[in-house]
Every structure is written in structure tokens, then in C-alpha cells.
């Protein structure tokens, strides 16, 4: 069985999931472990959830990579949109 969603996650995301499991699924426990507030942990969990949801998209691997880079803050949302639009025009994608 292929787990395409795993490819969407970076090492930091995987460590977060690891700690989440060790905290028995408690976001409050994770907040204590990382020494941050609950909303900070909730935001991090939401970003990971959105990455996993992306894996269900029918987009090309390139488009998914660009979207993931934007979610990780490596590029701006505007740059991601521009790159994706240009890619779709060049390759006549949806």
C-alpha cells in the first residue's frame, strides 16, 4: 500500500507526529513538551493536516511540491500561485 501523504511531510513534520503519538494524541501535552502555547501547536497540527489533505489532490507532483513549499513558508503564497499558473499554462494542465 502506497502512502502518498507521507511524501508531503518533512522531517520536522514527522518529528511532530512522533511526539504527538508519544503524548497520546494530546495537543496540550505537545505544547508542554515544546514549551509553546496550545494555539501554536494547533496551528502546526493544522498545517500538517492540510499537507496530508493535499496528497488527495490530483495535481502533478510539481504542483504539490510548490504548494507544500508555500505551506512551509519557503516561498510566498503569491510566488506559489505564479509558479503553478505558469506551469499549468506551459503544460496545459487544469
Report d(CA 10, CA 78) in Å as an integer.
Answer: 22
pLDDT at residue 17 is higher than 80: yes
Q: Is 1-56 a CATH 1.10.10 domain?
A: yes
What confidence score (pLDDT) does residue 23 get? Answer: 95
Residue 94: band (very low, low, confident or very high) from pLDDT cuts 50, 70, 90: low
pTM higher than the cut 0.85: no
Residue 81 has pLDDT above 60, yes or no: yes
Per-residue pLDDT tens over the stretch 18-68: 999 999 999 999 999 999 999 999 999 999 999 898 888 888 889 989 999
Contact in structure between 64 and 55 (CB atoms under 8 Å): yes
Assess contact for 17 and 51: CB atoms under 8 A. Answer: no
Amino acid at each position: 500500500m502506497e502512502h502518498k501523504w507521507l511524501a508531503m511531510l518533512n522531517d520536522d513534520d514527522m518529528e511532530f507526529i512522533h511526539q504527538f503519538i508519544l503524548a497520546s494524541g494530546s495537543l496540550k501535552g505537545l505544547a508542554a513538551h515544546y514549551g509553546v502555547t496550545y494555539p501554536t501547536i494547533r496551528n502546526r497540527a493544522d498545517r500538517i493536516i492540510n499537507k496530508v489533505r493535499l496528497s488527495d489532490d490530483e495535481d502533478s507532483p510539481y504542483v504539490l511540491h510548490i504548494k507544500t513549499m508555500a505551506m512551509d513558508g519557503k516561498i510566498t503564497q503569491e510566488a506559489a500561485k505564479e509558479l503553478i499558473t505558469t506551469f499549468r499554462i506551459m503544460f496545459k494542465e487544469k
